[in-house]
Amino acid sequence: MLELPLIVENLSFRYRDRQELALKGISFEAHQGEILLIAGASGCGKTTLIRAINGLIPRSYKGEMSGRILLFGQDPSSWPLARISQIVGTVLQDPERQILGTKVLYEVAFGLENLGLPRSEILARVDEALDYLKISYLRDRETFNLSGGEKQKVALAGVLAMRPKILLLDEPLASLDPASAYETLDIVRRLADEGMTVLMIEHRVEDVLRIRPERVMFLSEGQIRYLGPVEGLGEVVNYREVKLPAPAIIERARRDPPPPELRILPAAAGASSNPEPLVRFEEVVFGYDDREVLHGISLDIRRGDVIAVLGPNGAGKTTFVKHAIGLLKPKSGRVLVQGRDTRQTSVAEVASTLGYVFQSPSHMLFAPTVREELAFGPKNLRHPKEEIEKEVKEALQIVNLSDKENDPPLALSFGQQKRVSIAAILAMRSKILVMDEPTAGQDYFNYMNFMDAILELPGFEAILFITHDVDLAVIYANRVLLMAEGRVVADGPPAEVLADQARLEACRLVPTSLLAENLKYWPRTGRFLRAEALAHVI
pTM confidence score: 0.80
Q: pLDDT tier at 432 (50, 70, 90 boundaries)?
A: very high
pLDDT over 60 (residue 435): yes
d(CA 293, CA 288): 7
Domain shared by 70 and 105, yes or no: no
For 147, the domain range is 88-163
Domain shared by 102 and 44, yes or no: no
22 and 67 Cβ atoms separated by less than 8 Å: no
What digits encode the pLDDT tens for the residues 269-290? Answer: 555 556 789 999 999 999 987 7
Distances (CA, A) of 279 to 276, 325, 356, 436, 465: 9, 10, 14, 17, 15
pLDDT of residue 97: 77
Domain shared by 63 and 100, yes or no: no
What digits encode the pLDDT tens for the residues 501-516? Answer: 999 999 999 899 999 9
pLDDT of residue 454: 81
Q: pLDDT tier at 442 (50, 70, 90 boundaries)?
A: confident
d(CA 185, CA 181): 6
What digits encode the pLDDT tens for the residues 344-396? Answer: 998 878 888 898 888 778 778 889 999 999 999 999 888 999 999 999 999 99
pLDDT over 70 (residue 202): yes
Domain endpoint, select from 394, 428, 462: 428
Q: pLDDT tier at 439 (50, 70, 90 boundaries)?
A: confident
Distances (CA, A) of 212 to 170, 188, 193, 207, 441: 18, 11, 11, 10, 22
What value does the mean pLDDT take over residues 192-198? 96
Domain shared by 373 and 422, yes or no: yes
Q: What is the CATH number of the domain that holds 224?
A: 3.40.50.300
Q: What is the count of structural domains for the chain? A: 3
Could you tell me if residue 18 is inside a domain? Answer: yes
Could you tell me if residue 468 is inside a domain? Answer: no
Domain shared by 204 and 71, yes or no: yes
What digits encode the pLDDT tens for the residues 471-503? Answer: 999 999 999 999 999 999 999 999 999 999 999
Domain shared by 92 and 63, yes or no: no
What value does the mean pLDDT take over residues 146-155? 83
| Range in 64-68, 124-128, 307-311, 359-363 with the lowest mean pLDDT | 359-363
Residues of the chain above pLDDT 70, percent:
98
Peptide bond into 58 cis (omega under 30): yes
What digits encode the pLDDT tens for the residues 18-66? Answer: 889 999 999 999 999 999 999 998 889 999 999 999 999 999 999 999 9
What digits encode the pLDDT tens for the residues 153-183? Answer: 899 999 999 999 999 999 888 777 888 888 8
Could you tell me if residue 73 is inside a domain? Answer: yes
Would you list the DSSP string of 165-215?
SEEEEESTTTT--HHHHHHHHHHHHHHHHTT-EEEEE-S-HHHHHTT--SE
Could you tell me if residue 296 is inside a domain? Answer: no
Q: pLDDT tier at 208 (50, 70, 90 boundaries)?
A: very high
Domain shared by 359 and 420, yes or no: yes
What value does the mean pLDDT take over residues 459-463? 87
pLDDT of residue 298: 97
Could you tell me if residue 519 is inside a domain? Answer: no
Domain shared by 203 and 62, yes or no: yes
Residues 6+ apart with CB under 8 A from 307: 301, 462, 463, 464, 465, 477, 478, 479, 480, 481
Domain shared by 201 and 138, yes or no: no
What value does the mean pLDDT take over residues 315-344? 94
What digits encode the pLDDT tens for the residues 224-238? Answer: 999 999 988 888 888
Could you tell me if residue 502 is inside a domain? Answer: no
Could you tell me if residue 43 is inside a domain? Answer: yes
Q: pLDDT tier at 307 (50, 70, 90 boundaries)?
A: very high
Residues of the chain above pLDDT 90, percent:
64
Domain endpoint, select from 163, 186, 205: 163
Domain shared by 65 and 101, yes or no: no
pLDDT of residue 267: 55
pLDDT of residue 87: 96
pLDDT of residue 273: 58
Domain endpoint, select from 428, 447, 482: 428
pLDDT of residue 268: 59
**Nearest C-alpha neighbor of 13 from the set 26, 4, 3:** 26
pLDDT of residue 68: 96
In total, the chain counts a number of residues equal to: 538
Could you tell me if residue 272 is inside a domain? Answer: no
